[in-house]
Amino acid sequence: MAAHLLVIGLFSLPAISADTISLPPGKTMAATCDGPLNILLSNDDGFNQPGILALKQALGHAQHRVVIAAPAKNASGSSASISFAPVKVERVEADVYAVSASPATAVVLAVSALHPTASPPDLIISGINKGANLGPATGISGTVGATTAAIEIIDPPIPAIAISTDPLGPDYSAQENTEHLQRISSFIAKLVEQLKQQQCKNGLLLPQGLALNINYPALPRNKIKGIAMKEQGQAPYFTISYQPSTEHKNIFLPLVKTQAIRHDNTQSDTLAYHQGYITIVPINGNYTSKSPAIKALIEPIILKLIP
């Protein structure tokens, strides 16, 4: 099998100045600058779901070499969890692998064991996820977790994009949703082309160690207000709790409720998304809080401790 990768989800990105990035040691301008990319696709909904298949079709039509390595069944909410147990992989088609593990595991496994080392993936795309991954949901998302694995666990890091959306209606197989996914996939294919053009100038699709979390509103194209580079919001827009099953002993069922968005940062991806914007949040997997106020609060407490 030829060397290819999994794709997760993509959108438009402002130009990145050449003086803000540098090639990793020993890295030269990619040979794929003027040719197709090796793209690895994954998600957390499952290898055979409409979103990832729409992406595969669009990127294939753009002449990229695309491979799917995604969970064998729904793995939503798995974040960037990695399996330390044996993993079952089924080759469903020549370029489609069903991995019995989390999206992050699927990505790491595909890069290390399914993809020829002589031709590593150029890009990992995760999605199109059924359901937006905004604000606090970003950290628990398996779709986003796959991109975290790409830039944090895989060495050297691989550029990655997570793409998510909400359905236009309750029937995900309805024609309106099929067309919605096709529009998003076409948009992502255009973004990949933009990133390729940037690679020809600067040598990289994205700065090393960077991923993009993109959310596309559940709106017709003529209702989209634009594309906005934002920050991860902090205000939750849903709650999750667990209640005991009335039918099965020792079983607790999840209960998810949406809620109105409370006050949030004006640069919040959540606010912009619900205002009709395609949102893009650059992420690097670093959980460090760099707030001087937080440091000033915690440091005096720590200094009083005795090792």
212: three-class secondary structure by DSSP: strand
Q: What percent of the chain has pLDDT over 70?
A: 88
Q: What is the mean pLDDT of residues 125-131?
A: 96
Using CA of residue 216, residue 222, residue 226, residue 232, what is the dihedral sign?
Answer: negative
73: which DSSP letter? S
- How far is it, in rounded angstroms, from Cα 296 to Cα 153? 31
Which has the higher per-residue pLDDT, 28 or 152? 152
Give the residue extent of every domain in the chain: 18-231+262-293
CA angle 151, 156, 158 (to 5 degrees): 45
User: Could you report the per-residue pLDDT of 61-95, keeping only the tens digit for each?
Assistant: 999 999 999 999 999 999 999 999 999 999 999 99
- How far is it, in rounded angstroms, from Cα 98 to Cα 130? 18
- How far is it, in rounded angstroms, from Cα 264 to Cα 135? 10
Q: Which helix (H) or strand (E) holds 282?
A: strand 277-283
> pTM for the complete prediction?
0.85
26: three-class secondary structure by DSSP: coil
* pLDDT of 97: 97
User: Could you report the per-residue pLDDT of 202-261, keeping only the tens digit for each?
Assistant: 889 999 999 999 999 999 999 999 999 999 988 887 888 999 999 999 999 999 888 777
Q: What residues contact 164, with CB distance under 8 A and at least 6 apart?
A: 9, 127, 128, 129, 131, 132, 133, 141, 143, 213, 214, 215, 216
* pLDDT of 131: 94
Among 13-17, 180-184, 211-215, 245-249, the range scoring the smallest mean pLDDT is 13-17
What CATH number is given for 18-231+262-293 in this structure? 3.40.1210.10
